[in-house]
Amino acid sequence: MSETRFEKLEAHVADLQNEVEVLSQIVARQDSDIEKLKRTVEILVQREAAREAEGGGGVILGDERPPHY
């Protein structure tokens, strides 16, 4: 017995609903990861600002000339 057009559409809708749920879970997980990364970056920015305020930074980055040039 072959599926009717309606049954095929129902199956397709069910598949799409499943995909939407999976994608929703992925987006929720990514949102959580992004929030954690934002907090981490904020902490690192605060630490670097504190380090610069203390005047203790002598790290030469790749394209910076050392002070003796």
Segment 17-62, tens digit of pLDDT: 999 999 999 999 999 999 999 999 999 999 999 988 888 555 656 6
Do 11 and 3 touch, CB atoms closer than 8 A?
Answer: yes
Is 2 a residue whose pLDDT tops 80? no
What pLDDT shows up at residue 20?
98
Q: Which residues contact 57 (CB under 8 A, 6 or more apart)?
A: 51
Residue 64 has pLDDT above 90, yes or no: no
Q: Report pTM.
A: 0.61
